[in-house]
Structure 1
Amino acid sequence: MTKMLFISFLSLFLVSNYAESCFSDSIDMIQDKSDKKEDNKTEFSDLPSWSSARGVRVLVNVDSFGAVGDGVSDDTKAFGNAWKQACSTSTSVLLVPPDRIYLVNATKFKGPCAENLIIQIDGTIIAPGEPKNWDPKNPRIWLYFSNLKGVLFQGDGVIDGSGKKWWAASCKKNKTNPCVGAPTALTIDQSSDIEVKGITVQNSQQMNFAISKSESVRVFNVMVSCPEDSPNTDGIHLTASQNIVLQNCKIGTGDDCISIVSGCSNIKMESIYCGPGHGISIGSLGNDNSTGFVTAVVLDTAFLKGTTNGLRIKTWQGGSGYVRAVRYQNVQMEDVANPIIIDQFYCDSPKSCQNQTSAVEISQIMFEDISGTTKSQKAMKFSCSDTVPCNHIVLNNIFLKRSDGKEAETFCNSVNGYEYGYVQPSADCLMQSNHSFQQHQVKSERLIHTEL
């Protein structure tokens, strides 16, 4: 048994470090390209183009194409025409000027574009507040960018989805209303070698920022903000994407701060603030007996405050596929319900879900250096399938206590793995390891969060 335990630990260690090496390569690759873009950075002026020691850039200002920027006039056409010009011009900068508010309806910004395009958002872009005024041809998108390569999104500006009336019409707010999809504020689709930095996305009609079918995307210093009671407003949503890095992001919303669904691999999240919201989630996967795959995910350094979940993996009964090679480390929580939760019986449906034997396999999951307070009696929940148990679940240096001072507990169903170091509350369902090389004490120096 001791030999088997050692082999199991070594296997997970190797998988975890393999994933980390992939992330390091991805970060280095993206950082190299970022540095090249910084070399071309110039100060903006009112002139359409200029020369400097750093090279020549062509300025494409949306105002020059008839945008008014008063928050009332419809600037959709001006943005579309400005995009055509910027996309077809090498080393151009599409500028949304500061101190202006641009009303823009659903728009598709399609590539491919000429090289070295920068999208500089310094002003505020708002969506129509009335759902009835929405473009019926684009019911699920607002600002949609696709088929791009090597594009930099940056600036101090705001993308505001004006979602208040959309939320009020949601079936989760009013159960007499039909459940229908609403637009995603910002979408990057089928693109590669993309950077997004500094911008704010807020008050989305539904999801705030989605990255789909894309590769090598780095998002940093981005803020996402929605009210706690806004339904289905995921902060950053990843689907069918690889080599994604999320760094130094602050997210407060009415749904998952970060949601990672099928087709995602090599995902690195670092220095993430989450709250309010539903936590940092993998899933849901397996809905309607579908197949889902997520692998090689790392969350390193995060602070979650007042969220309804913490670190969550959620799958539906009847699904297939797997979630594997996931590591959560250096996470501090404050007043979080369900700080650590794996749920293979997820059911987000107005009707009760049928019991089914098939399930998405969950294995090689490590929780390390996780501490803080919980509002729930069950600080850790491993609710796994009887027919497809969760395997190789590892806990190391866990210290979770209840906010009210009462004793916290762990719930287990069909879960296999082990704990080592200090684990509180103890997970008696898991084996305990006493290998000397595995022994760790609780760190006296806890994660200190500084708001981003």
Structure 2
Amino acid sequence: MGKFLLLFIGLLLVAARGGAEYSQDGKLSILEEFESWDIEDDDHDEVIDPANTFWDERSAKVPVNVDSFGAAGDGISDDTEAFVKAWNTACSASNSVFLVPLGRVYLVNATRFKGPCADKLVIQIDGTVVAPEEPSNWDPKLPRIWLDFSKLKGVLFQGNGVIDGSGSKWWASSCKRNKTNPCRGAPSALTIDSSTSVKVKGLTIRNSQQMNFVISRCDSVRISQVLVSSPGDSPNTDGIHITESTNVILQDSKIGTGDDCVSIVNASSNIRMKRIYCGPGHGISIGSLGKDNSTAVVSKVVLDTAFLRETTNGLRIKTWQGGSGYVRAIRFENVQMQDVANPIIIDQFYCDSPTECKNQTSAVKISQIMYRNITGTTTSEKAMKFACSDTVPCSNIVLSNVNLERYDGTVETYCNSAEGFGYGIVHPSADCLNSQDKECASSGDLIMSTMIHDIEKNHIVHTEL
């Protein structure tokens, strides 16, 4: 935040001095917009300490233990009915704790846990919940979900427990593993749907059949200290998938998977990520968007402080040809990469189809994208790729202090129909961004030199928040 405040001060100084380039064109007004949204650290609301005894007479919390409803907890017996009965009891009484106790393994089939529930519900998962291994035994009425929670408000998910999707046989039957297999959907391990003011803290989600953790049609969700783990070759196992959701905070989490560590798709805005570890996986992605000529909108996404290791992509925006809508106001900053292929990539020709995708003229509009303080190593010659639509070009791409190296060769930037500018260190050079932005680049240099001059003159002290 501190560095962006410096930039904002610089902009004000340039405006006050009548900076010719800035006032003439106005293109750098986008930089001011990057100042208007920031990332909150985890708040200090009281949460339940799993070490506490919920049923102690001093506690207002009422434990609803799945064992009390007949759960065997041996990893073999079907505990689905016990979980449903415990849920119905916990959901209907205020201050309840739906408790999955430590040291036991519960086999649970595909289940919908529906709200609305009474106030102040806590879902405490300290044990291990496992899914059936055989795809052939899955409930055909619930083909895309395993543990699905919906219509909740003000609920806290927490604990040191594990949600294990037992996904290996699902992966083996995927058409991405074996092209002779039919392409079909598979369940997501944990889904929170149509909910508000939800917190998720401390859980481990692993070996999902397909997506690990889905946030769908939600508002005001905070996810922290979550571990997501699936093998690097497990197909379509997105780590955390955010769709049709607003005001989502994801922080202090480690994600390793066979697809996108984080994927953000249509109708999502105000998504903030901080202190994220990603690898293995396909990086941090916005998209895919615009498939089958659909309209998609994603805006106001911030990633601040991340480490990506040996991922197939780094910071990616991907859209299909033929779509419409927009992606805008995106900020990636303070990201370190180690041996990442495609560290920075915008791909408007994305095609994840068994048949060739035809060329189309319409496209999702991509604009106001900032990459700041992005460093590390890549395995690709083209460290930055801006493959934008010929008819709907990308605009206002801002690069600042980007330094990407390759151990065994040089690196370069690829551009197609991309407009923007860089300031500070930008390596590899992004001169291929549209030539009209040379004016912007000189304005950016003026801002930086003005800032440095005034900092030295006024002895401004800056600290990172």
Alpha-carbon offset, residue 19 of structure 1: 2.9
SS of residue in 1 equivalent to 2:36 = helix
Corresponding residue number in structure 1 for 2:32? 14
Q: Distance in 1 between matches of 2:233 and 2:24?
A: 45
Name structure 2 gaps, 5 residues minimum.
Answer: 1-19, 453-465
2:364 to 344, 360, 365: 360
| Partner of residue 304, structure 2 | 300
CA change 1:178–1:42 in 2 (3 A) is: closer
Q: What are the residue-to-residue correspondences of 1:83-94 with 2, within 5 Å?
A: 83-94=87-98
The answer for the alignment partner of 1:256 in structure 2 is 260
Distance 1:236 1:102 in 2: 23
Distance 2:256 2:317 in 1: 19
CA distance in 2, matches of 1:218, 1:161: 23
Q: Distance in 1 between matches of 2:49 and 2:404?
A: 46
Which amino acid letter does the alignment assign opposite residue 436 of structure 1? L
Alignment check: 8 A CA contact 1:213 1:240 kept: yes
Matching residue within 411, 415, 424 for 2:414: 411
Alignment partner of 1:51: what SS?
coil
Aligned to 2:332: 328
How far apart are 1:17 and its partner, in Å?
1.8
Q: 2:128 aligned with 1:124, yes or no?
A: yes
1:437 aligns with 2:411: no
Maintained 8 Å contact 1:19/1:325: no
1:50 Cα deviation (Å)?
A: 3.3
> Which of 417, 421, 424 matches 1:421?
424
Report the counterpart of residue 447 of structure 1 in structure 2: none
**1:178 & 1:403 partners in 2: Cα distance?**
40
Contact conserved, 1:50 with 1:58, CA < 8 A, in 2?
A: no
Equivalent residue letter for 2:246: Q
Is the contact made by 1:144 and 1:189 (CA closer than 8 Å) also made in structure 2? yes
Structure 2: how far apart are the matches of 1:384 and 1:236?
26
Q: What are the residue-to-residue correspondences of 1:275-314 with 2, within 5 Å?
A: 275-314=279-318
Cα gap change, 1:422/1:242 in structure 2, threshold over 3 Å: closer, same or farther? same
Separation of aligned partners in 1, 2:51 and 2:285: 39
Distance 1:101 1:3 in 2: 62
Tell me the secondary structure at the aligned position of residue 17 of structure 1: coil
CA distance in 1, matches of 2:151, 2:64: 20
CA distance in 2, matches of 1:106, 1:128: 9
Relative contact order higher in (CA < 8 Å, ≥ 6 apart): 2
Q: CA deviation at 1:12?
A: 1.2
| Structure 2 Cα separation of the partners of residues 6 and 267 of structure 1 | 30
1:41–1:228 CA distance, 2 compared to 1 (3 A): closer
User: Is 1:237–1:260's contact at 8 Å kept on the other side of the alignment?
Assistant: yes
1:51 maps to what in 2?
57
Aligned 8 A contact 2:50 2:159 in 1? no
The SS at the match of 2:238 is coil
Cα deviation, residue 51, structure 1: 2.5
Offset of residue 4 of structure 1: 6.2
1:185 aligns with 2:189: yes
Work out whether residues 19 and 297 of structure 1, in 8 Å CA contact, stay in contact via their aligned partners in 2. no
Q: Which residue of 2 aligns with 1:2?
A: 21
Letter of the 2:101 counterpart: P
Q: Is the 8 A contact 2:50 2:124 kept in 1?
A: no
1:362-414 deviations in Å (ceiling 9; x for gaps): 0000000000000000000000011000000010000000132x110100000
CA distances 1:339-365 after superposition (whole Å, capped 9, x unpaired): 000000000001111100000000000
TM-aligned CA deviation for residue 292 of structure 1: 0.1
2:74 to 70, 76, 80: 70
TM-score (norm 1): 0.91
Distance 2:281 2:154 in 1: 32
- 1:268 aligns with 272
Count of aligned residue pairs for this structure pair: 425
Q: For residues 64-105 of structure 1, give each alpha carbon's deviation from its aligned partner in whole angstroms, at most 9, with x where no partner exists.
A: 000011000000000000000000010011110111100000
Unaligned runs of 5+ in 1: 442-452
Q: TM-score, normalised by structure 2?
A: 0.89
CA displacement at 1:151 relative to structure 2: 0.3
Q: Distance in 1 between matches of 2:22 and 2:286?
A: 32
